Amino acid sequence: MVRPTPWEWFVANRKRFAPMIVAVTFLLIGSQMLNVWPHETVVHYRLGPDHAEITDARIAYLVGDEEAAGASFRWVEGAPHTLRHVIDLHPGHYTIAAELRGDSLRRDVSRSLQVPTEGTVTIDLSRAP
Protein backbone atom coordinates (compact mmCIF):
# COMPACT_ATOMS: atom_id res chain seq x y z
CA MET A 1 0.00 0.00 0.00
CA VAL A 2 1.36 3.39 -1.03
CA ARG A 3 0.97 6.23 1.42
CA PRO A 4 -0.14 9.51 -0.12
CA THR A 5 2.10 12.52 0.23
CA PRO A 6 0.91 15.22 2.62
CA TRP A 7 -0.21 17.34 -0.33
CA GLU A 8 -2.22 14.48 -1.86
CA TRP A 9 -3.82 13.78 1.52
CA PHE A 10 -4.73 17.48 1.90
CA VAL A 11 -6.26 17.67 -1.59
CA ALA A 12 -8.29 14.52 -0.96
CA ASN A 13 -9.62 15.78 2.43
CA ARG A 14 -9.87 19.55 2.01
CA LYS A 15 -13.68 19.60 1.66
CA ARG A 16 -14.00 17.75 4.94
CA PHE A 17 -11.88 20.34 6.79
CA ALA A 18 -13.28 23.50 5.15
CA PRO A 19 -16.22 23.99 7.60
CA MET A 20 -13.89 23.53 10.56
CA ILE A 21 -11.39 26.08 9.17
CA VAL A 22 -14.20 28.59 8.60
CA ALA A 23 -15.53 28.08 12.15
CA VAL A 24 -12.10 28.53 13.73
CA THR A 25 -11.55 31.68 11.66
CA PHE A 26 -14.86 33.18 12.82
CA LEU A 27 -14.06 32.32 16.45
CA LEU A 28 -10.66 34.01 16.25
CA ILE A 29 -12.05 37.13 14.60
CA GLY A 30 -15.02 37.24 17.01
CA SER A 31 -12.79 37.00 20.07
CA GLN A 32 -10.73 39.94 18.80
CA MET A 33 -13.87 41.99 18.08
CA LEU A 34 -15.01 41.61 21.71
CA ASN A 35 -12.09 43.82 22.68
CA VAL A 36 -13.32 46.59 20.36
CA TRP A 37 -17.05 46.77 21.08
CA PRO A 38 -18.39 48.76 24.03
CA HIS A 39 -18.96 46.97 27.32
CA GLU A 40 -21.77 47.73 29.73
CA THR A 41 -20.09 49.13 32.81
CA VAL A 42 -21.86 49.59 36.14
CA VAL A 43 -20.33 52.27 38.36
CA HIS A 44 -21.45 53.14 41.88
CA TYR A 45 -20.30 56.58 42.99
CA ARG A 46 -20.11 57.13 46.76
CA LEU A 47 -20.85 60.81 47.32
CA GLY A 48 -19.90 60.94 51.00
CA PRO A 49 -21.47 62.23 54.20
CA ASP A 50 -22.40 65.59 52.64
CA HIS A 51 -24.41 63.94 49.84
CA ALA A 52 -27.62 65.73 50.87
CA GLU A 53 -25.97 69.07 50.03
CA ILE A 54 -25.25 68.00 46.42
CA THR A 55 -27.90 69.13 43.94
CA ASP A 56 -25.95 68.81 40.65
CA ALA A 57 -23.40 66.28 39.47
CA ARG A 58 -21.59 66.19 36.14
CA ILE A 59 -19.50 63.11 35.37
CA ALA A 60 -17.24 63.02 32.30
CA TYR A 61 -15.35 59.96 31.04
CA LEU A 62 -12.15 61.25 29.44
CA VAL A 63 -9.70 59.51 27.13
CA GLY A 64 -6.70 61.79 27.19
CA ASP A 65 -8.21 65.27 26.99
CA GLU A 66 -11.24 64.19 24.94
CA GLU A 67 -14.61 63.49 26.55
CA ALA A 68 -15.72 60.02 25.41
CA ALA A 69 -18.98 60.03 27.37
CA GLY A 70 -20.67 61.89 30.16
CA ALA A 71 -23.78 62.31 32.25
CA SER A 72 -25.47 64.98 34.34
CA PHE A 73 -27.63 64.38 37.40
CA ARG A 74 -29.87 66.78 39.34
CA TRP A 75 -31.67 66.40 42.66
CA VAL A 76 -34.09 68.89 44.19
CA GLU A 77 -33.78 67.54 47.72
CA GLY A 78 -30.14 66.46 47.60
CA ALA A 79 -28.31 63.48 46.16
CA PRO A 80 -28.48 59.94 47.49
CA HIS A 81 -25.46 58.53 49.34
CA THR A 82 -24.60 56.31 46.34
CA LEU A 83 -25.20 57.16 42.69
CA ARG A 84 -25.56 54.21 40.30
CA HIS A 85 -24.55 54.82 36.69
CA VAL A 86 -24.74 52.23 33.89
CA ILE A 87 -22.83 53.21 30.75
CA ASP A 88 -21.48 51.53 27.60
CA LEU A 89 -17.76 52.23 27.22
CA HIS A 90 -15.16 50.97 24.78
CA PRO A 91 -12.28 49.02 26.35
CA GLY A 92 -9.47 51.21 27.63
CA HIS A 93 -8.33 53.54 30.37
CA TYR A 94 -10.57 56.47 31.35
CA THR A 95 -10.13 59.43 33.63
CA ILE A 96 -13.36 60.27 35.43
CA ALA A 97 -13.82 63.99 36.01
CA ALA A 98 -16.67 64.66 38.43
CA GLU A 99 -18.09 68.07 39.29
CA LEU A 100 -20.32 68.06 42.37
CA ARG A 101 -22.28 71.21 43.14
CA GLY A 102 -24.73 72.44 45.74
CA ASP A 103 -25.73 75.71 47.38
CA SER A 104 -22.71 75.71 49.69
CA LEU A 105 -20.66 72.95 48.04
CA ARG A 106 -18.26 72.87 45.12
CA ARG A 107 -16.09 69.80 44.63
CA ASP A 108 -14.10 68.64 41.59
CA VAL A 109 -12.79 65.09 41.75
CA SER A 110 -10.69 63.06 39.30
CA ARG A 111 -10.46 59.24 39.35
CA SER A 112 -9.34 56.39 37.03
CA LEU A 113 -11.32 53.58 35.45
CA GLN A 114 -10.15 50.60 33.39
CA VAL A 115 -12.73 49.00 31.05
CA PRO A 116 -13.67 46.17 30.82
CA THR A 117 -14.16 45.38 34.46
CA GLU A 118 -15.71 42.43 36.24
CA GLY A 119 -18.84 43.23 38.21
CA THR A 120 -19.64 46.62 39.66
CA VAL A 121 -17.02 49.31 40.17
CA THR A 122 -17.32 51.52 43.26
CA ILE A 123 -15.65 54.92 43.12
CA ASP A 124 -15.38 57.26 46.10
CA LEU A 125 -16.15 60.88 45.23
CA SER A 126 -16.49 62.00 48.85
CA ARG A 127 -13.23 63.96 48.78
CA ALA A 128 -10.77 65.35 46.31
CA PRO A 129 -7.49 63.39 46.00
Same domain, 106 and 60: yes
Overall number of domains in the chain: 2
pLDDT per residue as tens digits for the range 81-107: 999 999 999 888 999 999 999 998 999
* Cis omega (within 30 of 0) for bond into 116: yes
Q: Which of 110, 117, 92 is nearest to 45 (CA)?
A: 110
More confident residue, 108 or 25: 108
Domain of 66, CATH number, reads 2.60.40.10
**In contact, 85 and 7? CB cutoff 8 Å:** no
DSSP string computed for 15-81: HHHHHHHHHHHHHHHHHHHTTTS-EEEEEEEE--TTGGG--EEEEEEEETTEEEEEEEEE-SS---S
Look at residue 36 and tell me whether its pLDDT is greater than 80. Answer: no
* Assigned domain for 84 exists: yes
* Assigned domain for 129 exists: no
pLDDT value for 90: 87
Same domain, 22 and 45: no
Same domain, 49 and 63: yes
Average pLDDT on 76-80 reads 94
Instruction: Provide the residue range defining the domain that includes 47.
Output: 39-124
Query: pTM above the 0.85 mark?
Result: no
